[in-house]
Structure 1
Amino acid sequence: MEQRETAASCGGCVLSIAGATAAALTWASSARTRRHMGAGFEGEGTDYSVLLTELPLVVAAGAALPALACALLIHQMRRRRRKTARDTSRDTAQNTAEDTAEDTAQATTLGVESQLDE
């Protein structure tokens, strides 16, 4: 089980890197960003402050979304494993109680039969 969680964690890191890269590339190719970066007539409207304000937020959001999805997946995997373990232990306890009750009933029956034989 530990290997599965480790693989899911590594997968989350890879997805975060891919998400950050995809978000940055999508942001860079948008018309709004091109306009701020000097795509206007003769460089009119060039505003390089978007590199300091928008780009870090876009990259952070692109990295955070897959990381949150992966964390949710790992949480669900752990929750299912705990539930399965709890159900298994409950079934084992119930079966043990039933076996004990059957053994007691058999012992009582044997005790009554032995008393009748005397």
Structure 2
Amino acid sequence: MSRDAVTGGGCAVSFAGAVGAVAVWWQTSRTQRHLGNEFENNGQDFGAVLTELPLVFLAGAVVPAVLWGLGAWLLGRRRRPESSGASGISEFHA
């Protein structure tokens, strides 16, 4: 798998995780209560939204990206053949 494909896949997984986390967070009863879904907007608290939304977005973006990167690293490490000869040239200069 090429490096561009791995990078693009990581970005796609990160984007999907961020959007999914915000969508799930938005649907919870706790969030709806803070946004004023109570009787006559009683209990409306935008401070909770301003505090939680960035954290939910970051967690939704970072966790899938880290797992994707770990999986790509493990698969790349497992597929890479061990070179028996020590030629002294790194794989980046070959």
Consecutive unaligned residues of structure 2, counting only runs of 5 or more, are: 86-94
Q: 1:90-109 alignment to 2 at 5 Å?
A: none
Instruction: Report which of the two structures shows the higher radius of gyration computed on alpha carbons.
Output: 1
2:15·2:61 contact (CA, 8 Å) conserved in 1? yes
Q: Deviations over 1:42-73 (max 9, x none)?
A: 10000011221000000111111110111102
Q: Which has the higher helix share?
A: 1
CA distance in 2, matches of 1:33, 1:51: 8
TM-score w.r.t. structure 1 length? 0.66
TM-score w.r.t. structure 2 length? 0.81
Shift of 1:22: 0.5
Moved over 2 A (4+): none
Say yes or no: does 1:19 pair with 2:40. Answer: no
Partner of 1:56: 54
Shift of 1:85: 2.7
Q: Which of 27, 34, 38 does residue 29 from structure 1 map onto?
A: 27
Consecutive unaligned residues of structure 1, counting only runs of 5 or more, are: 91-118
Q: 1:72-87 alignment to 2 at 5 Å?
A: 72-82=70-80, 84-86=81-83
Across the two proteins, how many residue pairs are aligned to each other? Answer: 85
* Percent identical residues: 45
Higher RCO, 1 or 2 (CA under 8 Å, sep at least 6)?
2
**Aligned partner letter, 2:14:** S
